[in-house]
Structures are given as C-alpha cells and as structure tokens.
Structure 1
C-alpha cells in the first residue's frame, strides 16, 4: 500500500497497490476524477490508493465502492439522496463514506438510476435515494437521503440486492422457499410477481416461478431483471429484448450452456459461461450483434426467439473471458490475460478508446499497466461510464 505521507501525484507508487480506472460520462462527478467532464481514455484514480476496493456498483450517474473492511463509499450524482450521505446534493466529486452504516459490515452494494442498496453481513438490507415508484421497499413512495433498513427482511437473511432503473430485487441467503423478491415499478413485468400488469409495489413481493430452483445471483438494469441458478441456467423477466415480448414472470433461457454470470443493459444482456465464453442477448442498435432476419423460416413458428437471439460474441475464439459488465448501451469484458475489450455506444467515451464513436465488435482498451502485476481485473458499468479495478 502507498505510504500515508505520499501525495496523490507522486509517481513512485507501490507497485503492489490496487489500481482503479474510470472513463466515460463524468459531468456529475461519477468518474471520481474531481473534474466535471467526460473522459475518453481511462483515468487512474489515485485517491483509492489507501483503500482496498472489493467491489463497485455503478448507477445512472453515481457509484458505490465497497471496501474489504466492509465500508461503503459513494460519489457522483446525489439529487435524490442516492449517495446516502444524509442530504440531497447535486453531486459529490470524491468518494465519501456512508457513515450511517458504520455500525455494520457491508458485504454487498448496488446502484440503480437514482437509488441505492446495501446488504450487511447480518443479512439486513438498507435502501436510499428516489422512492417515488416504491423501489426502496419501505411501504411508501418516500425518498430517503440516508440508508434505511427494509423492515420486511429483518427476520430473514438477505444475500444480495440489485437496483434497476426504478425497481429492486432482493435475494435471500440459504433459503429453500421464497428466495427472490421484487419491488418498485413493475409495468414491464420486471418485478416478476404475477402474469398481470402491475404498475408498482412499495412492499417487497415474492418473484414467481423459482419453486425448486436455487438462485445464486440476480441482476437489474433498465426495466429488466435476471437471475442465475446454481445449475447454470439464466432467467430473464421484464421488458422484452428484441425478438420476444415482455415477461411478467421469469423465463428460463433455452440453452444447454452452463452460465455463471449475467449482466444487463437497457436493450441487451451479456451472459458468461463457466468455460469463459460470452454470449449476447437482445437489442437492436449501437453494437448489438443480433439480427432476427437471419434465423430463416424458423421465425414463422411458435419458438422461443431468445434461442436464436443468443449469439456468441465474435472475435474471441480461443480466449477465455473472466468478467463481464453492461452499461445502458455498451458492453465490457476482461480476458484471461487481463485485457479489457469494449463495444457498443460510445457517445461519452465510455468505450475508453479515445473517441466518441460507437463500435460494433470488441476493441481492446489501452491501460498504462503491466498486466502481469494483477491477479485479476474486474469491470463495472454505469449508464454511460466504465470502471476497472485490479484485484491483487
């Protein structure tokens, strides 16, 4: 770790310390660069040198960092109280501790468009920010500037929270019964609570269709929800991707592949298999790979179009992928060699390629870093920005 008396601009930094880079949309402070501007190239953030970041969550224009000590830091847009600092602010330019959670060891965080979720090692879940659609789960539509414990789960043990555009999912730990809950906006089916159209709910409701299925991970973005089961199946529900209608209960993707992670954008999804292959689902522009016109006569039959709409990301043959992330309309992957590749929407520089052009296939991002120094690199996406973190 860097010595405490070193300045943030010194070049003689400890080679073993953690690196954090950001790029893309930055006009609300979400990049952590202390400058309100977009960045087209990866920017190394020196202020993280004394913190060990175990995970990040990127939302519409704010970021939450989780440290290995169980502390949460947040920065970026705070106009709805989503930073959890106890006040509404236009933006915060640098990481600031969420001090109201100091009495808890935080193990999981998530950032939605304008709300945030935090999970403690004791199984409590806290939410803050915009609650106008009930996405905070407190039984009303009020907003909160500090994290508030969701009372529905105080007698249960929460493992994860996932925040989407205006809805949230909660996954319970070691639960053989009702294990996934949804709350917030549900008009596109993203809550998964029934086959009927539900405008919104402000009290957590059980997501239907997971009886006898063990879920190990959830994801939410835009009006989409997804989950991965212990046996490698991917389930999606909510707004329909290109090729199929909105789903009001979870639908299992018809594939024999064994998936380990899913990442959601606004019009597409990425799914990573246990073999390190990456597949893309849905969308209709800005780097999306699918084209339903190519599925031939099969499109006239009552088949699950998602099977045809799931395509392997090209140009990666023989390369194992170790991490994936999806923004609103862009995608990021990490190879086994530590290379970061991006494609999709590039208007704000979120592809990290030095320009604002869109890309229709993966392009390697240049980092001023010896790839052999880190055991791994993880990537995280907000709506129009990207973070990369080395994990020693």
Structure 2
C-alpha cells in the first residue's frame, strides 16, 4: 500500500472507514469510477465519515448517518436514489434532501426501490412501483420518498426490500406485526395460503400471532424474520428443492439465532454464540460437499430433508456479522477478519480475481485491523461494502 494511503487511513481511524468492491459499472461502489473492482477500495468521501448503516440493492446503495440523514448513490433510473426528478446514476454519495426534515433510523434497498423509517415510526418508499412494492395503493413509481399513509396508531421500526416486494415491521401497544406488499407470486408476501400475484397496500403477514419479531429481511423472492426467542422464519421462494412457502415457516432447529441474511438462492443465519449456518441449494454462494463430488459418485439426496447446515472451516471462530448478496456470502470474525465465498464474476469476493469460491477465503483490506473494534459488512447483488468502527 502506498504511504499516502497509509497516512489517510491513520487519519480516519477515529471515524468510520468504508471500503467497497465488486460490480461498479452503475456507480454503486461510490468510487466515482464506473468499473468493477476486484480488490477492496477505500472510499475517500467525507460524507461517509459518520455513517451508522448501509443498505445495498440491485445496483444502488443507501447510507444512514448517525445524525439521521440519508445519502444514496449508484443506479437511479427508477428513482430508487430518491433524488427527485434526476433519474441518472450517481457516482458518489448524494444527500436525499427531501428527508432532511426527519430523523431516519432505518433504510433498505431492493432491486430498484428503497425504503426508509423515521424515529417517529413513519415509512417512506421510492423507486420502481410496478408491482406495488412501494405500498401506496397503486403501481406508480416515485423519484422522491413518499410517506405511507395506511398505518394508524402503529410505529414502524424496520423496512426490508426484496427484488419486487417490501416488508415492514410495526410496533404497537400490544406487540408487533409484519406487513408485506408488492409481488407475491412466490409467496414472499406471506399474507395468504393462496397464491397472490401482487398487493399494492401493506397487508399483515400471517402466522405471527403471539410471536415477537425483532428483525426482518428480504432479497430476491425470499422473506425472513427472526423472533426474540431466536427462531428464524422464512417464506417465499423455496430453498434447495423445497416448495414455495406462502406463509412463514419456522426453521427446524434448537439453536437460537440473532440475525438472518438472504441471497437469491441461499440464506445465512447467525447464532448468539457466533456460529453461522447456511440454508440453500447447490448454487454459487452456497457451500456444499455435493459440489465437490464427481458426477459419477453423486447421490442425489431427498431435498425435502435438507435443512440448516453449519458453514464448514470456521471451527473455533466466533462470527460477529454476516451478509449475503445474490449468490455470494460474507462473514466477519470477532478478530475483524473478513471472509467471502460464492459467485465472484464481478470481483465481489474482494480476492483480486473474478473466480468463484466454494469455501470462505480471507479478504485483505490492506492494513492492520488490530485497533478496529468491529466491522460491519453489507452486500448488493454483485458487490460488497465493509465499514470499520474505531
């Protein structure tokens, strides 16, 4: 690493340091350069020095600062950046000024739409609304965040955006509820045992009566939730040969989970003890001995019996964070080591090449992480972000 880069990193150690890599042709890496990056790139953006969270979508990124402000960049053709009438791509972070009057506490990014939650529990959406995924009672698209007016006496705490659907976690005086809206053809809305093509206003997800949910996730045609007692629920497109689930199903496990991350064909789930398990099929981004076997020796298992499997190669390690892209996975160990595997065509694994990996490989950020307290990771469809905390 050049001496000037080392000095910049030392100067920034008192603040968040942001890195990006992978697909970048839409400006989603925030580097101001429209190309893929196979190595982690340090973002020299003063506006990102106080970010508290990121959300990565199909080819755009939403950043939330500790002061409740929102920035966005990347692909903007559907209004998903929330920059008003400007529908062009943004190659570096720009403020979503229409939300300046609110303190935003949570953000989400789908394929071509975005969601925001304020500290007062209001929900805002923008971007592509073709499938009703903005929740405004129509199929219109919006280039600036628009407040959902359908919730009364309820307070939103989280929003999640999938390929063409959205989820909202609401709190009220008697508990919480999850709502779904948008495309529902694979069951990802979870609102009915019957197939629902699309819903353009939020409807209550079935099956959570008496269950306290504290986290929700969406990606592709999948949805998931984690309960306070550590159970993971999934619905939508079936994993690894399973049929589509039109209402939430609890994963069969005695483990207690604290976070779930969804890809297009797989899911990661992390326990409170720092163990990581994977659910999914024999796709890129999913570990499986099945991939390494010769065609003649393969025995096709009864896929209905396949469930959560522990990610191999991590014995003795405690994992502090997880993230999943379309078909790649990222984990962070408690000693701030980043490991990636899966689809690597755009360099999203950060290993210096475009090869796929079927087991976790360590990513080098180019400097000593001993003084870094923690790292959070975030994945878009074919790109990755890492945020270090002093």
Whether the 8 Å CA contact 1:74–1:95 is kept in 2: the answer is yes
1:89 offset after TM fit, Å? 2.2
Whether the 8 Å CA contact 2:15–2:389 is kept in 1: the answer is no
Q: Distance in 1 between matches of 2:47 and 2:184?
A: 41
The one of 281, 284, 299 aligned to 2:302: 299
The one of 101, 124, 130 aligned to 2:99: 101
CA RMSD of aligned residues (A): 2.3
Q: Distance in 1 between matches of 2:10 and 2:201?
A: 52
1:13 offset after TM fit, Å? 2.3
Whether the 8 Å CA contact 1:376–1:390 is kept in 2: the answer is yes
The within-5 A match list for 1:1-392 is: 13-48=11-46, 51-174=49-172, 176=174, 179-290=177-288, 299=302, 305=305, 308-392=306-390
Whether the 8 Å CA contact 2:275–2:318 is kept in 1: the answer is yes
After superposition, the Cα gap between the structure-2 partners of 1:256 and 1:49, relative to the gap in structure 1 and judged at 3 Å, is same
Deviation string 1:13-64 (CA, Å, 9 cap, x unpaired) is: 2432221000000000000000000000000001146630100000000000
Whether the 8 Å CA contact 1:243–1:309 is kept in 2: the answer is no
1:285 offset after TM fit, Å? 1.9
The SS at the match of 1:13 is helix
Q: Distance in 2 between matches of 1:292 and 1:207?
A: 35
Q: Structure 2: which 5+ runs fail to align? A: none
After superposition, the Cα gap between the structure-2 partners of 1:356 and 1:212, relative to the gap in structure 1 and judged at 3 Å, is same
Whether the 8 Å CA contact 2:16–2:388 is kept in 1: the answer is yes
Whether the 8 Å CA contact 1:19–1:49 is kept in 2: the answer is no
Q: Which moved more, 1:46-55 or 1:267-276?
A: 46-55
Q: Which moved more, 1:49-58 or 1:202-211?
A: 49-58
1:156 offset after TM fit, Å? 1.5
Q: Structure 1: which 5+ runs fail to align? A: 1-6
After superposition, the Cα gap between the structure-2 partners of 1:282 and 1:367, relative to the gap in structure 1 and judged at 3 Å, is same
Provide the residue aligned with 1:3 in structure 2: none
Deviation string 1:183-203 (CA, Å, 9 cap, x unpaired) is: 000000000001100000001
After TM superposition, where is structure 1 displaced by more than 6 Å over at least 4 residues in a row? 291-298
Deviation string 1:68-112 (CA, Å, 9 cap, x unpaired) is: 000000000000000001024231011001000001000000000
The SS at the match of 1:100 is helix
Q: Distance in 2 between matches of 1:237 and 1:21?
A: 32
Q: Distance in 2 between matches of 1:271 and 1:339?
A: 18
TM-score, scaled to structure 2: 0.93
Provide the residue aligned with 1:4 in structure 2: none
1:173 offset after TM fit, Å? 2.3
